[in-house]
Amino acid sequence: MFDFGNANDGQRQAISTTEGPVLITAGPGTGKTYTLVQRAIYLIEERGVKPEDIFIATFTEKAAKELITRITNELASRNITVNVNEMYVGTFHSLCLRIIKDHLEYTRLKKNYRLLDTFDQQYLVFRNIYKFRTISGIENVMPKGGAWKWAQAICEFSNNLTEEVVDIDAMLSDHDMEISVIAKVVNTYQAMLDEENLMDFSAIQTECYRLLKENKDILEDLRNSIKYIMVDEYQDTNYIQEQTIFLLGTHENICVVGDDDQGLYRFRGATIRNILEFPSKFDVGKCQIIPLVINYRSDSDIVEFYNKWMITTSGSKFKFEWDKFRYDKRIVANETSKIESPCVVKLASKDDEDEWHERVLDFINRLKNSGKIQDYNQLAFLFSSVKHERVISLARFLESNHINVYSPRSDMFFRREEVMQALGCMMLMFPNYVKGLENGEYKFLDNTHYFYFRDCIKAANEFVTKPENLELKRFIRAHGKGHATLAANSSGTTDYTYSGLLYRLFMYKPFSDILDTDIGVGVVDIRPARNLAKLTQIIGKFEYLHNIDVLTGKYIIKNTELLFNMYIKLLFDGGIAEYEDDEEYAPTGCVSFLTIHQSKGMEFPVVFVDSLGNVPRKSYKDILNKIEEKYYHREAFEPYDEMKLFDFWRLYYTAFSRAQDLLVLTCNEDKKTPSKYIKEVYGELQSVEALDLSEFTFHTVKSVNLKNTFSFTSHIAVYETCALQYKFYKELEFMPIRQGAMLFGTLVHETIEDVHRAALRNETEKITKDNITSWFDSNYISLIKTEHGYLAEGQRKAALNQVLRYVERQHGNWSAIQQAEVDVSLVQPDYIIEGKIDLVKGENGTVELVDFKSEKKPDIEKMRDRLEHYRRQLHIYAYLIEQRTGQKVSKMHVYYTGEENGNPMISFPYTKSAIDGTVAAFDDTVHKILKKDFRSCSNDPKTCSNCDFRHYCQK
């Protein structure tokens, strides 16, 4: 008999109803995640379903990690041993990427494709805007404001039409010029992606969908392996996601979970119709609708308040009806409030921002001094945007009164002292650039940028001119003179890049002090180190995109201007979020300032909801409406004139329902605040003065326990080489300076993979010299685009010969190959092990593991340490294979493709005791990492000489 634990009747029904389509409407705080976890357990334990037969799509990576963690913990508590990592669990994007990766040869993509984030995508278009300017009539569909505005609009059009799977060719022949122009824009953009082997975020799902639609065998294999589908946050899915789910779920064991009242992502293409129309996708009565309405999160006063909000749809000068655009529901609190004080109140001032600041501060102090809250992280402020000057002003006021504020999306990155000092020091090392800045020569900059860059220089100067910072001053002056001389001598070069200069700065204060910070301190104290790490990422990405390997006299002036006046300027305008830790969404010692969207799925004991002066605004463009009417695959669902009202109500419903014990609506009242849409519910509230805090018992913030993933090469080997390196590169995420790309080895590796894939597809007749050469050339072209590097003709010939020699040695015998490029992972009690095995082969019930090295076979005595490293790596792979598949590993080999005459392999016997020892050492190292023990560092001169932090360590 399945143990349902404390599940209520609705949850029990949702957990145990596994066959056929199911819609679970889950209101806020009704145990949605608990229900999903238990439903997965029920499938495995009660129904005997294999983990690999289960597909769970989540809205965020954090939600996916939380599901895996909670499912594995629950299975362990029930003494059930299965590998949950066999499940398809992740965001739609990550699951689609997994399918694409497994079948890459059936897509438009080639190996080594690059995935673009939002800024990368816009920057790509911006740099190629000339290709779009030639399109006749484009100025009629583009916004005013220059090339960057055009780039943003082009990306928006492309993303929308891609995710709606619009027929662009049909649009090209439309008599409406605006529509045909946009079709040409999208085609031009798509041609750029194809040429450069790129994929943007919105195209991930479309590429996966097309792969499945056009390859029936692959689709059928997936349909046969995925027997149960669950989709979380279904109200926030879009057209392509719905189509993919129904394409895979022909068995109809599809369970979708969501809350139509919390649909917030229309601006990303999501549509509430998916959850509202889900039952109609099946025969009448076939889909079971299971409502979860018992709220375990909030006080009953809070629940009643947001229930009332959703039905208050008329007031002064506004009126609308939900009609068919909402499931009728009423959330019920698990317990009735036991206190007399109201749990929903207001905190306001009368058109006096300073007074509002003081009143907010007084109330926070009142909460803290009463002893009712133990940590500032029990408080959260929610806004429509945290970038507004009014919000930033409140945060600064609280911080000036010793209350730390955690607001990673407030775009304060470029205003942080450490970032301004670092950028200022960098600028001072390029005197030609500083001179141009002082003379106002840069037309691409406006006053905001001039003032900011000059402030950076001022911040740096104020520090370096202090007597105790003489060494830093000399360093900057010496490099400034050197760069001025270099600019005058077009043939000269340096042996470093911009990021190399930044790393050299780290040997001096204040940067060295920042890097000395113990990683175990609070988020505010470690923030400067994380911001310096982000700055290395920014500059490193710039160097990659502009192919800068050294500074040259010919291009130093041009590239320096590009770095500051274009790249950093655009990032400054768009804003950069600071570090967010999924494992600590409410950092201790800090009040959280979050957007309402950002707070989705979170809960806090005390929630302040601001932005009460907002009014409903439309979130669509008229031109996209025209395209929707003609070319989308379904008609518009909600009335255009009411969308903004629906979205407004859903947004504040989500905000109000984050509160557990106390909800405070707060604003600086004036003629427009609160707006007429909120005024009625706001006006009925008592002020915070009505509270008797002695009645309250506030929850603490719930802990988030997420399992992290570790591999031998990417984590254990790095930590064992130098724990300090691990701290900087893995924990703080500093970007290493690009060393020359390992083109040769990658090229050999990838072409051998092509050979193995052909063998696994039973296409051994295609393993010919001509085809291998073709695969090799294709891989080389894609690598050139990714790595911005080249191989001389002799090197290319040597690499191809290594592959041909390997194939020749096989003598056409490929029958033993079982898997190639195998991603294996295993869930442990408090972390996940992963690895990637080049080749698994075997016969007679056992398997052998092969790892390829594109070098000559080494002298065993001279290279004992390296071989020991390879042996331990293969031990971990053997452990993963045996634990995951139950197959017995008989041998492990390192295959040297560069060996011309002798035996190309070094083999290691399978010894259980040796493997157990390696796994135990792996486990020990992981736990040192989890405890943030980064005290030890390397003493090996070779390791240190190749480390970007060598200057810092020499301080």
CATH code, domain carrying 611 = 3.40.50.300
Whether residue 636 is contained in a domain is answered as yes
Q: Is 694 exposed, middle or buried (0-12, 13-18, 19+ CB in 10 A)?
A: exposed
31 is in an annotated binding site: yes
72 is in an annotated binding site: no
- Distance, in Å, from the CA atom of 419 to the CA atom of 435, rounded to the nearest integer, reads 21
**pLDDT digit string (tens) for 354-395?**
999 999 999 999 999 999 999 999 999 999 999 999 999 999
- Which residues lie below 8 Å from residue 946, measured CB to CB, with a gap of 6+? 739
Global pTM value:
0.92
According to DSSP, residue 566 is labeled I
424 is in an annotated binding site: no
Q: Which amino acid is at 200?
A: D
- Which residues lie below 8 Å from residue 458, measured CB to CB, with a gap of 6+? 424
| 257 and 160 inside one domain | no
Whether residue 74 is contained in a domain is answered as yes
- Would you say residue 428 has pLDDT above 90? yes
| 123 and 90 inside one domain | no
CATH code, domain carrying 888 = 3.90.320.10
Mean pLDDT over each residue of the chain, to the nearest integer: 93
Average pLDDT over residues 517-542: 93
- Would you say residue 491 has pLDDT above 60? yes
* Residue 566: domain span: 413-574
| 854 and 762 inside one domain | yes
Whether residue 313 is contained in a domain is answered as no
| 3-class state of residue 275 by DSSP | helix
| pLDDT score at 251 | 87
Q: Which amino acid is at 884?
A: R
- Distance, in Å, from the CA atom of 467 to the CA atom of 370, rounded to the nearest integer, reads 47
- Would you say residue 844 has pLDDT above 80? no
Whether residue 496 is contained in a domain is answered as yes
**pLDDT digit string (tens) for 743-799?**
899 999 999 999 999 999 999 999 999 999 999 999 999 988 888 788 889 999 999
| 279 and 393 inside one domain | no
**pLDDT digit string (tens) for 592-621?**
999 999 999 999 999 999 999 999 988 767
| pLDDT score at 739 | 63
DSSP secondary structure, 798-819, as one string = HHHHHHHHHHHHHTT--TTEEE
The mean-pLDDT minimum among 508-517, 764-773, 808-817 falls in 808-817
Domain boundary among 163, 196, 229: 196
Q: Which of 90, 87, 49, 44 is nearest to 232 (CA)?
A: 90
Triad 341, 609, 521: Cα angle to 5°: 100
**pLDDT digit string (tens) for 851-876?**
999 999 988 887 888 899 999 999 99
Q: Give the per-residue SS3 of 395-435.
A: HHHHHHCCCEEECCCCCCHHHCHHHHHHHHHHHHCCHHHHH
| pLDDT score at 821 | 86
**pLDDT digit string (tens) for 74-101?**
998 898 888 777 889 999 999 999 999 9
In the chain, how many domains are there?
5
Whether residue 310 is contained in a domain is answered as no
- Which residues lie below 8 Å from residue 400, measured CB to CB, with a gap of 6+? none
Where would I find the H helices in 411-522? 417-428, 431-438, 447-464, 470-488, 498-505, 511-515
**pLDDT digit string (tens) for 223-277?**
999 999 999 999 999 999 999 999 999 889 999 999 999 999 988 889 999 999 9
690 is in an annotated binding site: no
**pLDDT digit string (tens) for 439-464?**
999 988 999 999 999 999 999 999 99
| 98 and 134 inside one domain | no
| 780 and 898 inside one domain | yes
27 is in an annotated binding site: yes
730 is in an annotated binding site: no
Q: Are strands 22-26 and 288-292 parallel, antiparallel or unpaired?
A: parallel
Which tokens sit at 666?
A: 């707060």
Average pLDDT over residues 657-684: 95
| 904 and 790 inside one domain | yes
- Would you say residue 578 has pLDDT above 90? no
| 17 and 129 inside one domain | no
Residue with tokens 């009040």: 591
- Distance, in Å, from the CA atom of 770 to the CA atom of 747, rounded to the nearest integer, reads 16
Q: How many CB atoms lie within 10 A of CB 335?
A: 9
Domain boundary among 130, 165, 196: 196
203 touches 120 (CB < 8 A): no
32 is in an annotated binding site: yes
| 540 and 642 inside one domain | no
C-alpha neighbours within 13 Å on the C-beta side of residue 893: 19
Which tokens sit at 845?
A: 């019930």
Dmax over CA atoms of the chain, in Å, equals: 89
Model confidence band, residue 886 (pLDDT cutoffs 50, 70, 90): confident
| 176 and 222 inside one domain | no
- Would you say residue 437 has pLDDT above 70? yes
| pLDDT score at 866 | 87
- Which residues lie below 8 Å from residue 299, measured CB to CB, with a gap of 6+? 333, 337, 343, 659, 660, 661, 662
Q: Which of 272, 257, 306 is nearest to 34 (CA)?
A: 257
| 3-class state of residue 109 by DSSP | coil
Whether residue 202 is contained in a domain is answered as no
Q: Which of 419, 543, 428, 534 is nearest to 483 (CA)?
A: 428
- Distance, in Å, from the CA atom of 789 to the CA atom of 686, rounded to the nearest integer, reads 67
- Would you say residue 741 has pLDDT above 80? no
Whether residue 517 is contained in a domain is answered as yes
- Which residues lie below 8 Å from residue 701, measured CB to CB, with a gap of 6+? 375, 377, 378, 586, 604, 605
- Distance, in Å, from the CA atom of 41 to the CA atom of 191, rounded to the nearest integer, reads 46
Domain boundary among 528, 550, 574: 574
| pLDDT score at 740 | 56
| 181 and 217 inside one domain | no
**pLDDT digit string (tens) for 94-151?**
999 999 999 999 999 999 999 999 999 999 999 999 999 999 999 999 999 889 999 9
587 is in an annotated binding site: no
Whether residue 777 is contained in a domain is answered as yes
**pLDDT digit string (tens) for 153-202?**
999 999 999 999 999 999 999 999 999 999 999 999 999 999 999 999 99
Q: What is the dihedral of CA 708, 711, 715, 721, to 10 degrees?
A: 150
Q: Give how far the C-alpha of residue 457 lies from the chain's centroid of Cα atoms, to the nearest Å.
A: 33
DSSP E strands, 773-918: 817-827, 832-841, 846-853, 888-896, 905-909
| 36 and 82 inside one domain | yes
Average pLDDT over residues 552-569: 96
